Amino acid sequence: MNEIILKAENVCKSFGITKAVCDVSMSFVKGEIHGLIGENGSGKSTFVSMLCGIHSIDSGRFVLNGEELHVKNQVQANDKGVSIIVQEMGTLSGLTVADNIFLGREDKFVRFGIKNTAAMNREAAMLLEKYGFGDINAAAMIDNYNFEDRKLIEIVKATHFGPRIVVVDETTTALSQKGREELYKHMRRIRDEGNTVIFISHNLTEIIEYTDSVSVLRDGKYIDTVKSSEVSEDELKRLMVGREIANKYYRTDYGQPVEGETVLSVRNVSVSGQITDISFELHKGEILGFGGLSECGMHEVGKAIFGASFDRAGTVALANGTKIDSIPCAIKHSIAYASKDRDNESLVLFDSIRDNIVLPSINDLAEKNILKKKKLDKFANEYAKMISVKMTGVDQFVSNLSGGNKQKVVLARWIGKNSDIIVLDSPTRGIDVKVKADIYSLMSELKEKGKSIIMISEEIQELLGMCDRIIIMKNGVISGELARDERLNEEDLIVKMV
Amino acid sequence: MTEKTKQTEQNGSLSKVKKVLSAPRFLDLLPLIGLVIIVAVFAVMTDMEIVTAKSINLILSQVFVLMIASTGVFLVMTIGGLDFSQGSILGISSIVISSLSFYSIPLAMVAGILAGALIGAFNGFFHVKFKIPSFIVTICTMYLFRGLCAYMTTNAPVAAVTNITSLNLTWLKVVFTVGVLVIVYCIFTYTKLGASLKAIGAGETAARFSGVRTNLTKFLVFVAAGAITGFAAFLNVIKVGSITATAGNQLETMILIALVLGGMPISGGAKVRFSNIIIGTLVYCVLNNGLVMLGLDTAIQQLIKGTVFLFVVTLTIDKKSLHIIK
């Protein structure tokens, strides 16, 4: 049963001077889950966007069932039997659940120019029931549901009409374990019905477990397709990066207790509706982890330390007693913060790499209040190169960079500022293996220089691998604390999270 | 030739045109090229009349107030805002200057600047404190102060002290205008404040997270824009001598059109250039005078100006960053 259903032939796409997808030819078999992996900026998302009519194709073509695919938008793609579950929010606020599910196919319910809402809601409710999401109300506004439920609704939206190709683009990062199980279940069902799933993910364990074959893209080029049952994670990593990655991914040292002096103490900090009565201390040269479910309040802790919370009670103070109350105050006293929301909070998106790197250090760079362009250029170049940001020059706009490179710019600005306390919220979110490894080794380096790091993360593995201490949060309060130990495993943390 | 190759060829040439248009150097030069073209076109159409000393003098006499007031709005637009209250600020400040000119002319000038700054503070307060988009706040203040202007000039125009027009000297106005430009240029290019303005325009939340005091900065920008136009009002008073209800009428749209003609992105941010002010106001005044010299009807003139404005905005707009307008 190796009938080829979809073929890409010499597909190319450029954005300006960047070749996002370069002459990619590959085939997808009927009735398989086909993994698609590659580092950030390798062209995975662009490739499937062209397939689904989100981006236009520069040259080359897709052939579906022996017929050239010509689609200009997602509705046309759906009509041809191609649908996608996107990486970010794919449902529209301000509409009901049923409206979202039948977006673009309302005609089905229209008689004499009038939409039969009741019939639409009935059918949506039936579908939700069939998918096992019966507790979602089809007539309710979609805004009443959280990100995860909206993703489940999107699964229904993208698959209820029996498409022959379903693309799942890095959806699992946004889902909890339960949501993931649901998604896997429906991916398998689609395959068993004889259709094809294209599954994009950074999580290689997941890829190997749930796909039948895997294709690798690197720098916009097609590298290889392998059988998932015959490949290991390390082999996949090698294919993605194009060279051997040293096995030293996380820190390997154990058994060094944290004895440094206290550099920051957080006392009874509360933010209404987010966190309650949080107290802890951070030591010199320590990597302190914060773990928990994504709504547990740990992300707010990072903001509170940085003075960025809107309504905070309690105190955040340095060793010498200086209180941190605002962002300018935090920056002045050598605290750095990389937000989980990289594009809005960490980076001035429509501005150059130079301006982004110099902005926090601008007081230090001014001589008698005068800024000199040469000096700013030199500063930006020095740190962008130190962190090896992949760029055409410091004049390049940040909005054009890939996720991993954006994060490198964020790190470059705080390394440039020479901050002593560095708060990293989800530093490796949506970032590929190679840059991840770079970030981990940078963290170790900073630790050795005596800097203190707070790492807030939803990835348990990296907390276990990198942190000297891990604080676990649940429902806005601290629910446990664990010291670095080789014997710790995921279970130990999960027990305290849920 | 098959359908498909034709299409790809078209795409190819189109992308080439786009590439040339979006090359950074070319984009920076575009407004200047526009200025040269517009002067050349009018020179031909008016039999070189527009490049005579007399015409140039006339154009310059109109450019001062517009150029100074544009400098303030340039700052507002850099942070991604818009300011429609400039005309009414010019009116109110002109009335204040005229009334006080009987006591002391320097005092009147300072009071005019203060009056402008106060209205700017009013704008800034409502924009920052209540998070109302700036174009809505300033449209409201435009009506509010335009009404006040009309009220204060109901019975008769407000006349300034008669000898004030003796200050209407070209060299003095050049000094004032260049002075404002140089001061604002230095602040914009060489200080932390200038860098902060661009960052706010390009991404306000991130600017706040980078240590920029965004609310304070935004407030100050509106105060500065008001104060600068208050200063422009002084030049207006020494030119006209007495203030009627229509003082500063349409100034806000003139400024907006001038800045966009000068290449200013309407969403502000990192791509603004200080030269936008100078070239834009010159283009606007040449266009304005050229149309008058051609003897066109006022209605036709407006039609042409509207068309040119729409054309330039369509050509230069950056869809990606439009959501930033505050």
Residue A408 in any domain: the answer is: yes
Residue A367 carries which side chain, given as an amino acid letter?
E
Q: What is the mean pLDDT of residues B13-41?
A: 72
Residue A250 in any domain: the answer is: no
Chain A residues closer than 8 Å to B199 by CB: 348, 351, 355, 359
Task: Give yes or no for residue B5 having a pLDDT over 50.
Answer: no
Are A291 and A351 found together in one domain? yes
Task: Give yes or no for residue B23 having a pLDDT over 50.
Answer: yes
Are A318 and A172 found together in one domain? no
Chain A residues closer than 8 Å to B209 by CB: 306, 308, 327, 337, 339, 345-346
Q: Give the nearest chain A residue to B10 (CA atoms).
A: A58
Mutate to test the interface with B, among A306, A327, A359 (most CBs of B within 10 A): A359
Q: Give the nearest chain B residue to A364 (CA atoms).
A: B192
CB atoms A344 and B207 under 8 Å: no
Å between B120 CA and nearest CA of chain A = 25
Are A149 and A9 found together in one domain? yes
* A331 contacts chain B (CB < 8 A): yes
Task: State residue A218's pLDDT score.
Answer: 87
Task: Give yes or no for residue B102 having a pLDDT over 70.
Answer: yes
What ipTM did this prediction achieve?
0.83
Are A229 and A271 found together in one domain? no
Are A144 and A291 found together in one domain? no
Q: Give the nearest chain A residue to B210 (CA atoms).
A: A360
Instruction: Look at A24-33, A82-91, A116-125 and tell me which has the smallest mean pLDDT.
Output: A82-91
Residue A346: which of B11, B209, B270 has the nearest Cβ? B209
Task: State residue B3's pLDDT score.
Answer: 44
Instruction: Look at A25-34, A58-67, A80-89 and tell me which has the smallest mean pLDDT.
Output: A80-89
Are A227 and A275 found together in one domain? no
Task: State residue A416's pLDDT score.
Answer: 94
pLDDT band at residue B6 under the 50/70/90 scheme: very low
CB atoms B269 and A362 under 8 Å: no
Å between A85 CA and nearest CA of chain B = 23
Q: pLDDT digit string (tens) for B258-275?
A: 999 998 988 888 889 999
Task: Give yes or no for residue A172 having a pLDDT over 60.
Answer: yes
Å between B218 CA and nearest CA of chain A = 16
CB atoms B206 and A348 under 8 Å: yes
Mutate to test the interface with A, among B6, B25, B210 (most CBs of A within 10 A): B210
What are residue A36's phi and psi, to 5 degrees? -130, 115
CB atoms A327 and B199 under 8 Å: no
What share of chain A has pLDDT > 90, as a percent?
51
Number of domains in chain A: 2
Residue A253 in any domain: the answer is: no
Task: State residue B1's pLDDT score.
Answer: 39
Mutate to test the interface with B, among A324, A334, A350 (most CBs of B within 10 A): A350
Chain B residues closer than 8 Å to A395 by CB: 24
Q: pLDDT digit string (tens) for B110-139?
A: 999 999 999 999 999 999 999 999 999 999
* Cβ-based neighbours of A198, under 8 Å, separated by 6 or more: A28, A34, A36, A48, A51, A165, A166, A167, A168
* A59 contacts chain B (CB < 8 A): yes
- For chain B, give the mean pLDDT: 88
CB atoms A350 and B269 under 8 Å: yes
* A400 contacts chain B (CB < 8 A): no
CB atoms B270 and A351 under 8 Å: yes
CATH number at residue A13: 3.40.50.300
Å between A224 CA and nearest CA of chain B = 29
Residue A370: which of B22, B190, B207 has the nearest Cβ? B190
Distance from C-alpha of A23 to C-alpha of A131, rounded to nearest angstrom: 38
Q: pLDDT digit string (tens) for B139-171?
A: 999 999 999 999 999 888 899 988 898 998 989
CB atoms A331 and B324 under 8 Å: no
Q: What is the mean pLDDT of residues A170-182?
A: 78
Task: Give yes or no for residue A87 having a pLDDT over 90.
Answer: no
Q: pLDDT digit string (tens) for A190-235?
A: 999 999 999 998 888 889 999 999 999 988 889 999 999 899 888 8
Q: pLDDT digit string (tens) for A40-52?
A: 778 888 899 999 9
Task: State residue B2's pLDDT score.
Answer: 43
Tokens 């001035």 correspond to: A348
CB atoms B191 and A370 under 8 Å: yes
CB atoms B211 and A397 under 8 Å: no
Our CA dihedral for B90, B96, B99, B105, rounded to 10 degrees, sits at -90
Note whether A370 and B222 are within 8 A (CB): no
Task: State residue B17's pLDDT score.
Answer: 58
Q: pLDDT digit string (tens) for B173-184?
A: 999 999 999 999
Mutate to test the interface with A, among B198, B204, B209, B217 (most CBs of A within 10 A): B209
Residue A130 in any domain: the answer is: yes
Are A217 and A270 found together in one domain? no
Residue after which a domain boundary falls, among A180, A212, A241: A241
**CA atoms B292, B298, B302, B308: torsion sign:** negative
Question: What is the separation of C-alpha B40 from the centre of its chain, rounded to a whole number of angstroms?
Answer: 24
Task: State residue A108's pLDDT score.
Answer: 82
Give a three-class secondary structure readout of chain A: CCCEEEEEEEEEEEECCEEEEEEEEEEEECCCEEEEECCCCCCHHHHHHHHCCCCCCCEEEEEECCEECCCCCHHHHHHCCEEEECCCCCCCCCCEHHHHHCCCCHHHHEECCEECHHHHHHHHHHHHHHHCCCCCCCCCEHHHCCHHHHHHHHHHHHHCCCCCEEEEECCHHHCCHHHHHHHHHHHHHHHHCCCEEEEECCCHHHHHHHCCEEEEEECCEEEEEEEHHHCCHHHHHHHHHCCCCCCCCCCCCCCCCCCCCEEEEEEEEEECCCEEEEEEEEECCCEEEEECCCCCCHHHHHHHHCCCCCCEEEEEEECCCCECCCHHHHHHCCEEEECCCHHHHHCCCCCEHHHHHHHHHHHHHCECCECCHHHHHHHHHHHHHHCCCCCCCCCCEHHHCCHHHHHHHHHHHHHHHCCCEEEEECCCCCCCHHHHHHHHHHHHHHHHCCCEEEEECCCHHHHHHHCCEEEEEECCEEEEEEECCCCCCHHHHHHHHC
Chain B residues closer than 8 Å to A331 by CB: 210-211
Residue A484 in any domain: the answer is: yes
Residue after which a domain boundary falls, among A178, A211, A241: A241
Q: What is the mean pLDDT of residues B195-205?
A: 93
Residue A157 in any domain: the answer is: yes
- For chain A, give the mean pLDDT: 89
Q: What is the mean pLDDT of residues A74-90?
A: 85
Chain B residues closer than 8 Å to A399 by CB: 320
DSSP conformation class of B265: -
Cα B92 to Cα B70, B234, B236: the distances in Å are 17, 11, 12
* A377 contacts chain B (CB < 8 A): no
Q: What is the mean pLDDT of residues A166-195?
A: 86
Are A333 and A301 found together in one domain? yes
For each of the domains in chain B, give its residue range(s) and CATH number, in order of start. 30-324 (1.10.3470.10)
* Cβ-based neighbours of B129, under 8 Å, separated by 6 or more: none
CB atoms B203 and A366 under 8 Å: no
Domain that holds residue A451: 262-497
Residue A420 in any domain: the answer is: yes
* A366 contacts chain B (CB < 8 A): yes
Q: What is the mean pLDDT of residues A243-248?
A: 55
Task: Give yes or no for residue B9 having a pLDDT over 70.
Answer: no
Instruction: Look at A57-66, A105-114, B67-76, B228-237 and tell me which has the smallest mean pLDDT.
Output: A105-114
Q: What is the mean pLDDT of residues B83-95?
A: 96
Are A272 and A392 found together in one domain? yes
Task: State residue B29's pLDDT score.
Answer: 82
- Comparing CA positions, the residue from A453, A334, A333, A355 lying closest to residue A399 is A355
CB atoms B203 and A344 under 8 Å: yes
CB atoms A359 and B199 under 8 Å: yes
CB atoms A348 and B270 under 8 Å: yes
pLDDT band at residue B10 under the 50/70/90 scheme: very low
Are A234 and A298 found together in one domain? no
Give chain B's contact residues with A (Cβ, < 8 Å). 8, 11, 22, 24, 189-192, 194-196, 198-199, 202-203, 205-213, 269-271, 320-321, 324
CB atoms A359 and B203 under 8 Å: no
The 3-state DSSP class for residue B242 equals strand
Are A68 and A201 found together in one domain? yes
CB atoms B203 and A348 under 8 Å: yes
Task: State residue A17's pLDDT score.
Answer: 63
* Cβ-based neighbours of A228, under 8 Å, separated by 6 or more: A35, A207, A208, A211, A212, A213, A214
* A9 contacts chain B (CB < 8 A): no
Å between B38 CA and nearest CA of chain A = 31
- Using left for φ > 0, alpha for ψ between -120 and 50, and beta otherwise, residue B158 falls in beta
Residue A414 in any domain: the answer is: yes
Chain A residues closer than 8 Å to B211 by CB: 327-328, 331-332, 359-360, 362
Are A230 and A266 found together in one domain? no
Task: State residue B7's pLDDT score.
Answer: 44
